[in-house]
């Protein structure tokens, strides 16, 4: 999926989320906790006005961790504690990893480019992205919200939480391996560890996390409208990760395509699933 296409998809998904929010407000089912989730997203996403990239990493991690904690605080139960703990760990780890990467020597050149690019992003565009990301992050953990409302352990909910935990672990290991390899050879493609048989295990972990959210969320709703509420944001992020994997594969093909070693690596690895 091309960059322009995923931007259009994002816009469509945001319109759906806005419609869902209005529908729930009119229907009287938008709760004070939902407003709290909205407030967390609104405050966290202000980082876009520091640097437009920050809303996609720092704000994202903050929203997941803080909204998980908020839902746990307002609707405490054993199943909420279990699922929210995964969210808190995921969000806090992502925030910390992003901070370490931004301040690493291997990322210095890329960070310089990001800082320079930020100066070319017009304020109206930042405002538009801000509104879209606030909606996305507000709906992101609606699955956890509905699981917390029900407060019941079911096999499907437990399966969803297990998938979330597996995705969190895979992404953490993949990010750690990639950063360690980049510290040693910043210019080289990472093809060791989880990357030996899968070119984007970090994206695979992210996708698993959101598959888990969808599984747990769908197990906790009673009608089709609520099913859309719990799936819309995770589904968009899954599509985004698939799009990113395709984009990076194209970029690497352009950059390393003439290399015999890279051609062999492509043959022996899958994009998002490991090739055995």
- Structurally, how many domains does the chain consist of? 1
Residue 256 counted as domain residue? no
- Asked whether the whole model's pTM tops 0.75, one would answer yes
According to the model, what pLDDT value does residue 1 have?
57
What is the span of the domain harbouring residue 58? Answer: 3-249+263-267
Yes or no: say if 41 and 138 are a contact pair by the CB < 8 Å rule: yes
- The runs of H, that is alpha helices, within the chain are 3-26, 32-44, 58-74, 78-102, 108-118, 123-140, 142-150, 155-184, 201-218, 224-256, 260-267
Higher pLDDT, residue 119 or 92: 92
Residue 79 counted as domain residue? yes
Mean of the pLDDT values across residues 247-255? 92
Q: How wide is the angle at C-alpha 45 spanned by C-alphas 119 and 219, nearest 5°? A: 140
What would you measure as the largest C-alpha separation in the chain, in angstroms?
61
35 has a pLDDT exceeding 60: yes
> What is the rounded CA–CA span in Å between residue 30 and residue 197?
45
> What is the rounded CA–CA span in Å between residue 74 and residue 175?
32
4 has a pLDDT exceeding 80: no
Q: How wide is the angle at C-alpha 119 spanned by C-alphas 113 and 122, nearest 5°? A: 130
Residue 258 counted as domain residue? no
Residue 171 counted as domain residue? yes
According to the model, what pLDDT value does residue 45 have?
97
Mean of the pLDDT values across residues 136-151? 98
Element containing residue 106 per DSSP (H, E): none
Mean of the pLDDT values across residues 173-201? 94
Mean of the pLDDT values across residues 132-154? 97
């Amino acid at each position: 999926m091309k960059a322009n296409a995923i931007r259009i998809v994002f816009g469509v998904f945001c319109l759906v989320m806005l419609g869902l929010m209005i529908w729930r407000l009119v229907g009287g089912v938008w709760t004070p906790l939902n407003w709290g989730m909205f407030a967390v997203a609104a405050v966290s996403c202000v980082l876009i006005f520091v640097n437009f990239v920050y809303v996609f990493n720092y704000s994202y991690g903050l929203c997941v961790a803080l909204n998980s904690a908020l839902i746990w605080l307002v609707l405490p139960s054993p199943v909420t504690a279990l699922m929210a703990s995964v969210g808190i760990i995921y969000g806090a780890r992502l925030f910390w990893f992003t901070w370490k990467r931004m301040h690493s020597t291997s990322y210095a050149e890329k960070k310089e480019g990001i800082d320079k690019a930020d100066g070319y992003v017009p304020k109206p565009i930042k405002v538009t992205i801000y509104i879209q990301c606030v909606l996305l992050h507000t709906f992101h953990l609606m699955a956890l919200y509905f699981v917390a409302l029900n407060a019941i352990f079911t096999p499907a909910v437990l399966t969803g939480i297990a998938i979330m935990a597996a995705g969190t672990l895979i992404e953490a290991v993949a990010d750690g391996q990639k950063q360690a390899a980049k510290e040693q050879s910043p210019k080289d493609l990472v093809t060791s560890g989880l990357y030996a048989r899968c070119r984007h295990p970090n994206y695979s972990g992210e996708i698993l996390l959101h598959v888990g959210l969808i599984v747990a969320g769908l197990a906790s709703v009673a009608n089709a409208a609520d099913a859309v509420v719990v799936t819309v944001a995770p589904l968009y992020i899954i599509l985004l990760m698939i799009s990113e994997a395709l984009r990076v594969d194209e970029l690497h093909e352009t950059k390393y395509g003439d290399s015999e070693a890279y051609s062999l690596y492509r043959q022996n690895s899958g994009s998002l699933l490991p090739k055995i």
